[in-house]
Amino acid sequence: MTQNATSLKTLCWCGGLDGYVEMIDQTLLPEKFELLECRDVETVWHAIKRLSVRGAPAIGVAAAMGLVLAIRDTQGDRAAVMERLAQASEYLASSRPTAVNLFWAIERMNRVANESADLDAEGLKNRLLEEAKTIRDEDAAMCRAIGEVGAPLIADGAGILTHCNAGGLATAEFGTALAPIYVAHANGRKLRVFADETRPLLQGSRLTAWELDRAGIDVTVLCDNMAASAMQQGLIDLVITGADRIAANGDVANKIGTYGIAVLANAHNIPFYVAAPSSTFDENTKSGADIPIEMRGDEEVRHGFGRQTAPDNVKCHCPAFDVTPAHLVTALITERGMIQPVSTETVAEVFK
Ligand code: MRU
């Protein structure tokens, strides 16, 4: 994959049907930039589980490509390929529960397979590879559109707070929350980004700070307990985060800590925006209470990055995500435009 300063390619399919998935191994950043080659579906599953590839849209793309790896060596007729596709779909769906893009991509691949009833086994395999590549390319295009829609919200000299990483690394390219920032920067606006470090896996300080710095954008890392004081000091003009799933009523699941930031923004009268492509909206989940929240292992809190930070015998609470109620979200920034105010009625537009 070729990379340039403002556009990171997080993952791609290399070669033809006998090719492989190449992805940036995000567990190694910012220390090392290394690419991970996935030649079977199990490697993709583990890459998703341990967060080598992470961020809702990027997980969706990885799952679509993982399905191609699963079916491409299947011997036999079309029915055999369909059977393997069903097995691999269930397997990949078990990797992480919260980001709806994972299930969205798996469903889309299955729908395309069902609709291609006229294709034989080889034709079907090639059709699914084409669809996985299309999902990647469409994700990049949606992120660019989100950037254009959101950039006018950023005034010259603005201070923007973001949480976790919803940048190029979390998508096929360009990001969601960071997309308006990239566009505003490219348009010559001066801005300053504050990146919450985002305990326990530090996606903010390891990934957001890394990619913004690489793009020449002014970025300052905040420990997670510093956002309130930064707001009180007037450093923050707006907050933009990403989302893992947006329920039909506009409630937003995103990285643990997002809800706290939304409450703080509300208390300081600071607009709180969520940027997400339509693939992150889930019509079938009525409200935030219905969103499955991934629980991660105690070790991620207890032994963060090598050093022991809590005694072995104490319990740790490890939800990976939280839910921000719709009423705390000023607007949703999507590739199709802004949704404001955020309600069941306005969110319904996305599903049309
Ligand atoms: O656990 P992660 O790193 O996959 O969590 C990622 C987030 O919470 C992102 O904000 C979200 O997926 C949006 S990415 C465009």
Q: What is the pLDDT of residues 118-166, one digit of tens each?
A: 999 999 999 999 999 999 999 999 999 999 999 999 999 999 999 999 9
Residue 289 to residue 287: CA distance in whole angstroms: 5
Ligand 1 centroid – CA 264 distance (Å)? 20
For ligand 1, mutation pick of 163, 181, 210, 254 (most atoms within 8 Å of CB):
254
pLDDT digits (tens, 9 = 90+) for 302-341: 998 888 999 999 999 999 999 999 999 999 999 999 999 9
Q: What does the pLDDT look like over 67-88, one tens digit per residue?
A: 999 999 999 999 999 999 999 9
Instruction: Give the residue extent of every domain in the chain.
Output: 11-144, 149-351
DSSP letter for each residue of 59-92: HHHHHHHHHHHHHTT--S-HHHHHHHHHHHHHHH
pLDDT higher than 80, residue 8:
no
As a whole number, the mean pLDDT across the chain is: 96
Q: Which pLDDT score, from 0 to 100, does residue 84 have?
A: 98
Does ligand 1 come within 6 angstroms of the Cβ of 108?
no
| 82 alpha carbon – ligand 1 mean position (Å) | 31
User: pLDDT of 210-256, one tens digit each?
Assistant: 999 999 999 999 999 999 999 999 999 999 999 999 999 999 999 99
pTM confidence score = 0.97
166 lines ligand 1 (CB under 6 A): yes
Q: Which of 139, 224, 244, 282 is catalytic?
A: 244
Measured CA to CA, the distance from residue 191 to residue 344 in angstroms comes to 33
Query: Fold identical between 11-144 and 149-351?
Result: no
11-144: CATH homologous superfamily? Answer: translation initiation factor eif-2b, domain 1 (1.20.120.420)
Centroid of ligand 1 to alpha carbon of 254 (angstroms): 6
Token code pair at residue 67? 């399905």
Cα 289 to Cα 247: distance, rounded to the nearest angstrom: 9
* Structure tokens belonging to residue 329: 């979200």
pLDDT at site 6: 59
Joined tokens for residue 246: 């947006």
Q: Is the CB of 171 under 6 A from ligand 1?
A: yes
pLDDT-based confidence at residue 5 (cuts at 50, 70, 90): low
User: Is 244 an active-site residue?
Assistant: yes
Q: Is 149-351 in CATH node 3.40.50.10470?
A: yes
